[in-house]
């Protein structure tokens, strides 16, 4: 069964550094998403991406964040200057169409630790 994959599984970085989290969505899916989950809290939506542009973003997704689909398979989340409060699990998800219509399938996550 096709799965969303994410790398790395764990990323440790110093405050102020840039990080790039990588995802390979399910191959025939068209919509891509990033969510985060701070330890012990609920999953929060960051951004959705369709047709090579951002479709929707939340208040969390400020100018420090960016997303890109550099090729036909990868989908990345970049945090330009990490803060301590960026420490969280970051999940990539994909769906065949908009989340309004069909389920979003999640990857295993990248644990980001900012020190």
Partner 1 sequence: GESVGLHLPTLSVQEGDNSIINCAYSNSASDYFIWYKQESGKGPQFIIDIRSNMDKRQGQRVTVLLNKTVKHLSLQIAATQPGDSAVYFCAENMGGGADGLTFGKGTHLIIQP
**Residues in touch with partner 1 (CB under 8 A):** 4, 31, 33, 35, 41-45, 48, 50, 55-56, 58, 91, 98-101, 103-109
Residue of 77, 73, 88 lying closest to 4 (CA atoms)? 73
Give 44 or 64: the residue with its C-beta nearer to partner 1: 44
DSSP one-letter code for 86:
G
What's the token pair of residue 105? 């399938």
Query: Cβ of residue 108: shortest distance to partner 1, in angstroms?
Result: 5
Give 17 or 110: the residue with its C-beta nearer to partner 1: 110
CA distances from 1 to 48, 75, 105, 107 (A): 23, 20, 12, 13
Query: Cβ of residue 16: shortest distance to partner 1, in angstroms?
Result: 28
Residue 52 and residue 31: Cα distance in Å, rounded?
A: 10
Give 87 or 107: the residue with its C-beta nearer to partner 1: 107
């Amino acid at each position: 069964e096709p799965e969303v994959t994410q790398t790395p599984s764990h990323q440790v970085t110093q405050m102020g550094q840039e990080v790039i989290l990588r995802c390979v969505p399910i191959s025939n899916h068209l919509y891509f998403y990033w969510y985060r989950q701070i330890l012990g809290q609920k999953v929060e939506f960051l951004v959705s991406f369709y047709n090579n542009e951002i479709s929707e973003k939340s208040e969390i997704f400020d100018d420090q964040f960016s997303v890109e689909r550099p090729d036909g398979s990868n989908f990345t989340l970049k945090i330009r200057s990490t803060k301590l409060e960026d420490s969280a699990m970051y999940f990539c998800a994909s769906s065949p169409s908009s989340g309004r219509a069909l389920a979003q399938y999640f990857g295993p996550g990248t644990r980001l630790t900012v020190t």
